[in-house]
């Protein structure tokens, strides 16, 4: 595993979810606005039954009709800013969004941003007895090499997915000439953690939508794992308040975290 980036001592402010819009895209815009203003903020949140897809899905002609059909079934489909693929939302799924300013060329810190995000989640889960690492898990929804995974090598299952989005931010005043030559961005880093969701249901829902838009994608239930399942496989007791414990562990880690190098 690659070394984690050196970090600076700027803390994150953990926001009250009630202070942000309920629409995920509107919430992302609010977080990016805070980052553009120079703040480092964190948002731990959950969503009702829904799906979130990148704007690149607009290339599928049936998208609008599929979104309308799923909305009628009680499963709205939201568009997000970052890339990647479809992500299910609903009970038992916890989201972490980090937004902060960086001064670097576009994408230069992409890997440190991912390692920083994965490190926060991995450290939090480790306190609960779940050991994870980052790797791609072929067959999982929104697959990428910075998934957080549980289990060894080819048997690893995805427990969290990650994504990031960069937006050019205005330069601040009183900068040195060297700093003025380096562009400033607001970065949004996001993770979707499966805590105690139903893997069968979320995969069936995701596959049904992909089939309706004709994307050709299909996801496998056995390629993902929840925190509850990982604990059970390791023969640990599953506390009744697991979701709250996971949220608390991540919140505690956020209060200790600082920004990736270059921020």
Indicate the pairing of strand 77-80 with strand 50-54. parallel
* Element housing 232 (H / E): helix 227-233
Q: Whole-model pTM? A: 0.91
Tens digit of each residue's pLDDT (9 = 90 or more) over 136-159:
999 999 999 999 999 998 899 999
Catalytic, 235? Answer no
Q: Is the pLDDT of residue 3 over 70?
A: no
Alpha-helix residue ranges (DSSP H) falling in 39-176? 63-72, 110-126
Which stretches of 7-109 are DSSP H helices? 24-36, 63-72
Candidate list 75, 118, 142, 235, residue with the active-site label: 142
Positive or negative CA dihedral for 113, 116, 117, 122?
positive
pLDDT tens profile 65-96 = 999 999 999 999 999 988 889 999 999 999 99
* Domains along the chain with CATH numbers: 10-257 (3.30.930.10)
Model confidence pLDDT, tens digit, residues 52-73:
999 999 999 999 999 999 999 9
Q: Look-up: residue for tokens 């049904």?
A: 208
């Amino acid at each position: 595993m690659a070394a984690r980036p050196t970090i600076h001592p700027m803390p994150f402010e953990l926001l009250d979810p009630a202070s942000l819009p309920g629409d995920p895209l509107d919430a992302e815009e609010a977080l990016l606005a805070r980052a553009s203003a120079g703040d480092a903020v964190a948002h731990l949140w959950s969503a009702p039954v829904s799906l979130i897809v990148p704007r690149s899905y607009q290339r599928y002609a049936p998208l609008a009709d599929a979104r309308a059909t799923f909305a009628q079934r009680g499963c709205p489909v939201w568009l997000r800013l970052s890339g990647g693929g479809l992500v299910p939302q609903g009970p038992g799924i916890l989201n972490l969004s980090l937004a902060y300013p960086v001064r670097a060329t576009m994408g230069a810190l992409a890997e440190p941003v991912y390692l920083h995000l994965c490190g926060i989640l991995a450290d939090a889960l480790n306190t609960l007895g779940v050991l994870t690492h980052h790797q791609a898990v072929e067959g999982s929804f929104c697959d990428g090499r910075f998934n957080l995974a549980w289990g060894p090598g080819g048997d690893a299952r995805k427990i969290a997915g990650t994504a990031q989005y960069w937006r050019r931010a205005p330069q601040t005043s009183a900068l040195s000439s060297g700093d003025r030559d380096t562009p400033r961005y607001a970065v949004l880093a996001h993770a979707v953690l499966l805590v105690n969701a139903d893997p069968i249901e979320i995969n069936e829902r995701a596959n049904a939508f992909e089939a309706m838009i004709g994307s050709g994608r299909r996801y496998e239930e056995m390629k993902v794992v929840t925190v509850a399942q990982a604990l059970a496989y390791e023969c640990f007791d599953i506390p009744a308040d697991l979701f709250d414990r996971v949220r608390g562990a991540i919140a505690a880690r956020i209060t200790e975290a600082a920004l990736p190098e270059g921020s």
